[in-house]
Structure formats: structure tokens, C-alpha cells
A and B are shown apart, each in its own frame.
Chain A
Amino acid sequence: MSLRDLYQEIIVDHGREPRNFGKLMNANHCQAGHNPLCGDKLMLYVLERDGIVEEARFEGVGCAISVASASLMIEAIKGKSIVEVEQLFDLFHHLVTEGRESDVNIGKLAVFGGVVEFPVRVKCATLAWHTLKAALTNNTQPVTTE
């Protein structure tokens, strides 16, 4: 397992220059996520219409893995239906905790395949996804990884 397998170019790139970063004024789902152990924090904004994620943005601070995960997640979910987003959540979760890619193509998200070798970093990779899940179920409590 090399460090490059964990820190693939795409992760380093999105970690340093996250896409879809900032507030989304017309969001109809807002959700805070927090990893109290390491202090990673994010605020996720989602605009959902007729069961489709039309737009999403985020802001926050964190390590390369958590920031890149939020950035790439938003790229992946835009235009997807809530059902598709839930499927992606399961696939992503499986990827970083079990390490096996299923037959389903998850696109760029596959770059997180190295995380499984670093169990303490799994929470970094999944924070954005847990926050998203809570946002879509309109959970008003801040999400924590604990």
C-alpha cells in the first residue's frame, strides 16, 4: 500500500481546491456535520426539486480526505434522484469500509478505494456522506461521526 494509493492526485487536487464550495442561498436542505475527534466541520447545502438533487454546495474545514470527499460527492450527486443518491451512499460506504468495488461504476469516487487500509481515516471520507443522508431526511440535529 503506497501513500499514493490513499492520496491519489484527484484527492489532493479536490482537497486543495474543492469544487462547489460556498453557500447555496436557495437550498432547501441545510445540514452541519462534525467529526469531534479531529475537528473536521462542514455545512452542506442541497437544493432538491421533485426528488432530484438540482444543486449542492458545501463549506467547512478538514483534512484533504474529508474536503475531497465532500467535493467529489457533490459532483457525483448533482442531477441524481434521491434513490440514486442513496444507492451511491451504500456503494461509497462499502468501498471505504470493505474495500471491494462492486460491479456498479461509481466513477471518480473510486479514488477513495485506498481509505480502507487506513481505518482511522474512514470517518474523514464518510463525514460528507453521513451529512448528506441527514440533510435529505431533514434531520435538524448536527451530524457527528461519533
Chain B
Amino acid sequence: MKASVTKQVVDFGRLCRDFPILQKTNRGKTMIYLDSASSAQKPYQVINAIADFYMQDYANIHRGIYELSERSTQLYENTREQVKNFIHAAHADEIVFVRSTTEGINLIAQSFGRPRWQAGDEVILSTMEHHSNIVPWYMLKEQIGIVLKIIPIDDVGAMDIETYKKLFSSRTKLVAISHASNVLGTINPVKDMTAIAHAHHVPVLIDGAQAVSHMPVNVQDLDCDFYVFSAHKMYGPTGIGVLYGKKPWLDTLPPYQGGGGMIETVAFEKVTYTKAPQKFEAGTPDIAGVIGLNAAIQYVQTIGMENIFSHEQALLNYAEPKLLAIPELRMIGEAKPKVGVVSFVLNHIHPHDIGTVLDHEGIAVRAGHHCAMPLMERFQVPATVRVSFGVYNQEKDIDTLLSAIQLTKRLFA
């Protein structure tokens, strides 16, 4: 099944028909899904690809000598090639399948950081990081005594690059930053920030969870050392993610977990490991998840990443002025450029109460700290309401949101 597109012109109004869940209701009302930054919904193309795989091609990979296993292995490895092309990596063996963005970051912390860093070594993060790009480094702080240096952000939600430049020292071992913020939407100047880090001979890890399904990503152009993302935020299944690592790094990193599939020989006296990327994929992986990721990449590529970016920018440009026109509304994150994410608070009305009213009107948004407590602290709010867009959203979704906000105001007046 092809996505609903004709040549270069994409009819985004029709795309929501690709998503069976969007045909359902929410509290008896038409479902308006504005929580794609948390997780995106799944199109038939992805759901069917997984079902078809289990019905026609499934067997364990890299193990069987029978045709079915060969076919399964080929589909799995083809996806590695496809991911390579999708993020413009140089080699397919720079693509490691992991469970999620979170696991990718933990892998780098434990396989890259832990064996080679010492107490007092430093990692640079930013105030706007998701907990998944804070806690793995904090754990290293507890385990081996590394020091976390934090890039501040300004009042509109942009990285303070001048301070960033001053955070480097002879002890700086890694910069770990998000490509786009899950709360503010800010698209960070990661290419420039990578160049700055490289000038200090410091490698860079980019958390691409909020970027990869919303804009074209080229890891060679960014020149980052590591890039991580999850399939579930890009219309793919849960439980599968990607760690990209430059080949020289992956070749020298020790394995993350031990088990089957990542060894050459095993004796009780001596184990030798396979090369990257298999070295990092111990045990039977989420094969069907990889097949689902394959279908998800095909889905977004058929629409076109440039088209997706333009569509979500148009929604942002439609929504922001209308939201800002609400006198009681304070937007958190007004830096440009942004991905399709808008966070706000509404005077004395708590975000959870807003979330409940919106839910009652059929609208799914996220209300809370968004796994970014240091960022909430920075803006002195306990929580925000976050609206985020996907390919299936349309201007009328924003109109419904705006009337529901008016309803909320009346209810709490």
C-alpha cells in the first residue's frame, strides 16, 4: 500500500485515513491527536508490514540455514541499509538496532564512557535535555565520578552558545545534546555545536528523537559522532530504535550486553566478539520491530521529509499567533526554528486540568513535566500543556483546540 500521495503534491488532508486509530473516537468525540512528540500513531502500511512479516517471512535471523531464515535475515539487514540511506550515514555497519533512543544513550554511556573516563572527566549537556539524556550521565557520575556541565538556555528557549563555548576544558569527554527539544520545539544548531566540540577534539552525541520524523537528517553533514532515535515517534512500532555511530568509534567500543549473536567464539576461558554492529545486538533482536521501522521509513520517505517539514511548519505558523492571542496564555519556547511543538501554560489553570478538559473534547495532548524537570525548573513552571503535530494533523485540529481552550477558561472562570 502506498501512502496517499501524488507525485510532488501531498494531500495531507487524506493522510489521516492511513491511520486506523484516528478513525476512532476519544470520549465519544472525533479523535484529535496532538501528542505525536510523545509517540506517533501507526499507519496501515506499518501495521500490515508487521503482520505480513509474521505471516509470511518470520524466522530468527543470522542462525537458520533454511530459506525462511535467510529471507528474514535479508529483510532485517536490508533495513540497516535503508536506515543508512535515511539518515545519510556512510556505511550500513554504522547502524546499530537498539530498543529506543534511551537504550542508545545508555549504550554510549556504558560502552563508550564508563571504560575510558575517570573521576573528574566532564560531559556537556543542556538544560533542555529529556531525562533520557540526563539520567544515563548522572548514573556515570555516581558510578565513576564524572562531572556534568550544563549549557544554559535563554528566555525564548535557545541554547546559550557563548556559554557553551566556555564550558570546554581539558577534561571534556563528550557533548550530548538534543537535535530538537521535546518541550520547547527548539531546533538546536547541532552542526555548529558539533564543529565547536570537534575543535576541542570532543566527540558529540545527538539525541534525534524529536527531529528525525520531522525534518531531513544528514549525519555526515552534521558530522556528529553518535546519533540516536526511536521508531515509535516516526510512525513505527515501539521497542525499536537506532544508534548511529561513526565506524572508527563503533569498532573500538566494547560490547554493551553479552549473549548470542554478538560472538565469534565462546569458551569458558576466552570469548571473542563479532564486529560492529552485531557486537551490540546481543540476543534475538526485535526483528518484527525492525521490519516495522522499515515500513515507517518507507512511509515518511514516500511523503517526503521536506514535505513533512513544510506541512508541520505551516501548522505551527497557523497555531502560534492564535494561541498567543489568548491573553492568559504564556508560551514556553519561542525560539526559531522550531519543530511542530507548542508548550504553554494558562494563568492559574493547572496543565492537568486543561488536559482533562481537552481530553473530554476529544483532544489528546500531553500535560506534565515531559520528562524534562530541569527545564520546568528553568521556566519556573510545575508543568506545561504540550501540543505536537504529525503528518495527520490539519488546521481544523487547531481550531478545535482553540475552542476547547476557550471552554477551559469558561469552566475555571
Contacts and interface: CB of A to CB of B under 8 A. Distances in A.
A124 B348 contact: no
Interface stretch (A48-56, A57-65, A71-79): A57-65
A94 B412 CA distance: 27
Contact of A39 (B349, B357, B360, B369): B369
Which bracket fits the contact residues of A?
10 to 19
Nearest to B369: A39
A38 interface: yes
A20 B353 CA distance: 22
Interface string B378-394: 00001100000000000
A64 B350 contact: yes
A104 interface: no
A38 B356 contact: no
Contact of B383 (A6, A39, A118, A121): A39
B357 A62 contact: no
A3 B368 contact: no
A25 interface: no
Contacts of A121: 352, 356
A100 interface: no
A12 B412 contact: yes
Contact of B350 (A3, A37, A62): A62
A12 B348 CA distance: 11
Nearest to A39: B382
A16 interface: yes
Report which residue of A7, A61, A121 has the largest number of chain B beta carbons within 10 angstroms of its beta carbon: A7
Given A12-B411, A121-B356, A63 B368 contact: no
Nearest to A64: B353
Contact of B368 (A6, A39, A62, A65): A39
A129 B10 CA distance: 54
Nearest to B348: A16
Interface in B396-413: 407, 411-412
Given A3-B360, A12-B411, A38 B353 contact: no
A3 B357 contact: yes
B353 A37 contact: no
B352 A124 contact: yes
Contacts of B352: 38, 63, 65, 121, 124
Contacts of A16: 348, 412
Nearest to B373: A39
A34 to B, nearest CB: 12
A11 B350 CA distance: 13
A101 to B, nearest CB: 22
B411 A3 contact: yes
B412 A37 contact: no
A43 to B, nearest CB: 15
Interface in A1-55: 3-4, 6-7, 12, 15-16, 37-39
A4 B368 CA distance: 23
Contacts of B382: 39, 61-62
Contacts of B376: 39
Nearest to B407: A3
A39 B352 CA distance: 10
Interface string B337-377: 00000000000111111001100100000011100000010
A64 B351 CA distance: 10
Given A12-B412, A64-B350, A64-B412, A37 B356 contact: no
B382 to A, nearest CB: 5
B368 A37 contact: yes
A121 B352 CA distance: 9
Contacts of A37: 368
Contacts of B353: 7, 15, 63-65
Contacts of A62: 350, 382
Contacts of A124: 352
A63 B412 CA distance: 12
Interface of B: 348-353, 356-357, 360, 367-369, 376, 382-383, 407, 411-412
22 contacts: A7-B353, A7-B357, A7-B411, A12-B411, A15-B350, A15-B353, A15-B412, A16-B412, A38-B352, A38-B367, A38-B368, A38-B369, A38-B383, A39-B382, A62-B350, A62-B382, A63-B350, A63-B351, A64-B349, A65-B352, A118-B356, A124-B352
